[in-house]
Structure 1
Amino acid sequence: MVQLVGAGVVCLNPAGEVLMVRRADNGQWDLPGGRVEPGEEVRAAALRELLEETGLRVAYGMNVATGMNISEPELLGVFSGPDTLHTYPDGNTVAWVTVLYLYRNVRGVVQAADDACEAGWFGLRTLPSPRSAVTDRYFHTLAARLSV
């Protein structure tokens, strides 16, 4: 078993829906994300994975009402532990340490690609299944952040 650093993205659209992808290797629904390559900045890896798996990009610019940069992510959390273990079809098991960012502004048309076989927007009360234990932990953290 090896331990790797992962980067993931929670994308919320204006309707409060979250972007999810269904993994091709195990059929589970998850957030867009993946491995941080050696020497790659974690946030850059998260944005690369978002683009590779869904075709979406972060929208850049300023929110006129708040004066804040809308492309700046919020750090949702760093997740590790027994529920982050993932066994791949070839039998290799990886213990992930995942850095998860929250973005509220993305652009483009959702298209599943790379290792995602489906992608779409879902309400927080109507999330698709099956999901892993760590994915559920991501959503508990998100719900606490949003006070849902």
Structure 2
Amino acid sequence: MADAADSFWQSRDVQIVVGVAVVRDGLVLAAYRPGPDGGWEFPGGKVEPGETDEQAAVRELREELDLEIKVGESLGPGVDISEAYRLHVYRAVIVAGDPVLREHSELRWFAPDDLDESDWLVPDRPFVRALRTDR
């Protein structure tokens, strides 16, 4: 769920983007975004008009990874990606399916202690730290 500070951003026409930290058997799923500015990220995408963060997370993981998920708690306050975008990340568990690679170049399950060893996109890094300390 978005926190009170995030309502400020929503009033400024900032596009909310959700990321999902899928946790299974103590491991965290990450997706690699290819390209010159690429790196590891939590899969997800933009919240469409009329959607909640949770609805967007479910839709995006169904589209990107062919997963059905149950969205859990937020991993902290939103993080600015740019002046136009703000990232919210939620913990989730898989209800059905196995991840299918569709939009990223690689998927990987990370142990919490190994999360810091990878090249994460800058906006995702605070949520990586939250996952490591929230065990």
TM-score range, shorter chain: 0.7 to 0.9
Aligned to 2:105: 117
Aligned to 2:31: 21
Separation in 1 of the partners of 2:38 and 2:86?
Answer: 21
Aligned to 2:42: 31
Separation in 2 of the partners of 1:74 and 1:140?
Answer: 15
**Could you list the runs of 5+ residues in structure 1 that have no partner in the other structure?**
59-70, 86-93
Identity %: 31
Query: Cα offset for 1:80?
Result: 2.2
- When normalised by structure 2's length, the TM-score is 0.76
Residue 135 (structure 1) aligned to one of 109, 124, 132 = 124
Separation in 1 of the partners of 2:71 and 2:98?
Answer: 21
**Matched residue of 1:10: which SS?**
strand
**Matched residue of 1:38: which SS?**
coil
Query: Cα offset for 1:119?
Result: 1.4
RMSD: 2.1
Q: Does 1:100 align with 2:111?
A: no
1:131–1:104 distance in 2 versus 1, CA, 3 Å = same
Separation in 2 of the partners of 1:12 and 1:110?
Answer: 12
Separation in 1 of the partners of 2:111 and 2:61?
Answer: 19
Q: Does 1:8 align with 2:7?
A: no
Amino acid at match of 1:75: S
Q: Do the aligned residues in 2 keep the contact of 1:11 with 1:106 (CA within 8 Å)?
A: no
Aligned to 2:75: 76
Aligned residues: 121
Query: Cα offset for 1:104?
Result: 3.2
Q: Counting helix residues as a fraction of each chain, which structure ranks higher?
A: 2
Separation in 2 of the partners of 1:120 and 1:129?
Answer: 11
Q: Do the aligned residues in 2 keep the contact of 1:11 with 1:18 (CA within 8 Å)?
A: yes
Query: Cα offset for 1:132?
Result: 1.9
Query: Cα offset for 1:72?
Result: 5.2
Structure 1 or 2, whichever has the larger Rg, is 1
